[in-house]
Structure 1
């Protein structure tokens, strides 16, 4: 490695270190709030028409899995755009940091759901609680780059996920409230924290 390559490598390392300790401003409060409100609407629709929208545990897992997937794509697309505006030359490093935080838990959630639905569909009631807890893990892991009060939604997702597992485990059944409740409260709380702590809106 010549001097120029070494210097470029050191600059890249410094940029990564700065990104790891810099407030990430890519998450839009309004987008996170929208996810919470959409979750609320779906939960209320399932409560109103359970014979159509909540006929089985499998159906509920599919519906809420689709909600989480669409939400993740929406947040990621907005985060890329906002990061370029907010972080300039550090946008790439900031996005890589956020991506590396979320990738492991996303893979775990998807793989676990696929394996359980394929080989142990009677245990699908485990999946939503697991998803909630994994979201909590992401929030905890983001503690250094998001407002410090993100710790409270993180705790909420972990505890509510555990509660959903415990309640669903009583009879192996899920309810719309178990599925949507933690997502509604958690996402609206995160949106409020991002807004209140001064993360600029688009």
Structure 2
């Protein structure tokens, strides 16, 4: 390898490291906050009309799963659009770095509930807790490119996920507040974090 090739490779490595340790601005606070608003509406519907929107654990999983999947697609689409609009190679590196964290987590969050509903529907009460803990892991993994305060929503989702699994197991099923409460607070907290213009940590 020539000196020029070696220098080019080193520059590429530096750019990749900067993409990981620099704030990724593709996430839109408004999109995340919108998911929080929809979470409020769904929780109110399940509280007011439990026979129609909260009849059983399977219905909980389907309704909230569709909301979270739609939210993921909306936020992902917004991130791609904002990145392409910037027309910056660094932004593209940062989008790729974020994708490596988010996409595997999304696949886990999708495959696990589908398998549970298909083969062991009586264990559906465990799914919201798994979703919340996965969201916590994403928040912690994204810390280098997010505001420092992202640890608080991450900690919230982690604690709610663990507590929710035990509470749902203890009472024998899911309730609107047990499922909706953590998502409402967590999404609004993430939207607040993303709107904060504080200094970002470096890896």
The whole-number CA distance in structure 1 between the counterparts of 2:120 and 2:171 is 16
| Residue range with higher mean Cα deviation, 176-185 or 189-198 | 189-198
**Do 1:19 and 1:90's aligned partners in 2 also have CA atoms closer than 8 Å?**
yes
The whole-number CA distance in structure 2 between the counterparts of 1:30 and 1:107 is 24
SS of 2:174's partner is coil
User: Number of paired residues?
Assistant: 199
Q: Which residue of 1 aligns with 2:60?
A: 60
Q: Which residue of 2 aligns with 1:117?
A: 117
Q: Which residue of 2 aligns with 1:76?
A: 76
Runs (4+) of structure 1 exceeding 6 A deviation are none
Q: Which residue of 2 aligns with 1:126?
A: 126
The alignment's C-alpha RMSD in Å is 1.8
**Do 1:113 and 1:124's aligned partners in 2 also have CA atoms closer than 8 Å?**
yes
SS of 2:143's partner is coil
Shift of 1:197: 2.6
Output aligned runs, 1:1-202, within 5 Å: 6-86=6-86, 88-197=88-197
**Do 1:101 and 1:142's aligned partners in 2 also have CA atoms closer than 8 Å?**
yes
- TM-score, normalization by structure 2: 0.91
The whole-number CA distance in structure 2 between the counterparts of 1:68 and 1:122 is 21
The whole-number CA distance in structure 2 between the counterparts of 1:84 and 1:153 is 28
Q: Structure 1 residues 183, 169: closer, same or farther in 2, change over 3 A?
A: same
Shift of 1:178: 1.5
The whole-number CA distance in structure 2 between the counterparts of 1:198 and 1:75 is 22
**Do 2:147 and 2:198's aligned partners in 1 also have CA atoms closer than 8 Å?**
no
| Residue range with higher mean Cα deviation, 6-15 or 148-157 | 6-15
Name stretches of at least 5 consecutive residues in structure 2 with no aligned partner: none
The whole-number CA distance in structure 1 between the counterparts of 2:7 and 2:77 is 32
Name stretches of at least 5 consecutive residues in structure 1 with no aligned partner: none
The whole-number CA distance in structure 1 between the counterparts of 2:133 and 2:165 is 10
